[in-house]
Amino acid sequence: MNTVTANNTYPIFEADQVLTADHLNEMFNYLEEQERWTRAKLIGSGIVCGLEVSLANSNNTVVITKGAGLTSKG
């Protein structure tokens, strides 16, 4: 299994350079990492909507509604 590592360096390309799969994957990883940082740092993390908690009639069951949340990993 491949693991994704933090990519904080914007790749620089030169004129007439032949791009390999590694070059394209590096660019995609960089952009994906920046998108995660934008969501987590500029927007914030936590509950976005829904995810309301309540007890069922029997008080023995916790019910959580559908919703969306954002972790620090985006």
Give tens-digit pLDDT for 36-55: 877 776 677 777 788 888 88
Tens-place pLDDT, residues 13-39 = 889 989 899 989 988 888 888 888 777
pLDDT level of residue 74 (50, 70, 90 thresholds): low
pTM: 0.47
Contacts of 18 (CB under 8 A, 6+ apart): none
DSSP state of 10: -
Q: Length of the chain, please?
A: 74
**Sign of the torsion angle spanned by Cα atoms 52, 57, 60, 61:** negative
Structure tokens at 62: 């916790």
Domains in the chain: boundaries: 1-43, 45-74
